[in-house]
């Protein structure tokens, strides 16, 4: 049986890719996801996509990530929300700011550090 942490990380990785890199702009390597599409809906779009981002932070906490890593993930999510909330310009910038992919990288690094026997650090 596979490691439960590895299974959860694979699940969170799929979520991050759906949110930030599910689709490819034809004839380019530019990728975007549901975060950018749903974020176009005025008023509720950015709030709606903040929920799965917050879920990733919540799961990171349950998996044992330090407060420092969780705070970095929170800053990325907050920036994504604030940037995306700016009418038109924010929507354009939101296509380039891949907070969920950044957050999954932070979480992966943190959990790798934890499972490689690094000395415990409460923060």
Measure the CA–CA gap between 29 and 119, rounded to whole angstroms: 40
Torsion 42-48-52-54 (CA) sign = positive
Is residue 61's pLDDT more than 60?
yes
- Is 120 a member of any domain? no
The Cα–Cα gap between 55 and 99 comes to: 13
Q: Which residues contact 24 (CB under 8 A, 6 or more apart)?
A: 30, 31
What is the number of domains present in the chain?
1
Classified as helix, coil or strand, 66 is: coil
Please give the residue that has the higher pLDDT: either 107 or 49: 107
Residue 122 lies in a domain: no
For residue 47, give its domain range. 4-115
CB 121 within 8 A of CB 66: yes
Whether 123 maps to a domain, the answer reads no
Q: pLDDT per residue over 66-105, tens digit each?
A: 999 999 999 999 998 888 888 888 888 878 889 999 999 9
């Amino acid at each position: 049986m596979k490691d439960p942490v590895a299974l959860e990380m694979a699940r969170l990785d799929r979520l991050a890719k759906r949110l930030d890199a599910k689709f490819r702009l034809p004839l380019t390597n530019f990728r975007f996801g549901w975060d950018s599409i749903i974020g176009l809906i005025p008023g509720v779009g950015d709030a709606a996509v903040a929920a799965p981002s917050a879920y990733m932070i919540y799961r990171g906490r349950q998996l044992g990530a330090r407060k420092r890593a969780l705070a970095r993930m929170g800053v990325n999510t907050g920036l994504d929300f604030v940037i995306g909330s700016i009418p038109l310009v924010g929507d354009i910038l939101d296509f380039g700011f891949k907070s969920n992919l950044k957050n999954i990288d932070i979480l992966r690094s943190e959990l790798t550090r934890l499972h490689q026997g690094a000395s415990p650090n409460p923060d």
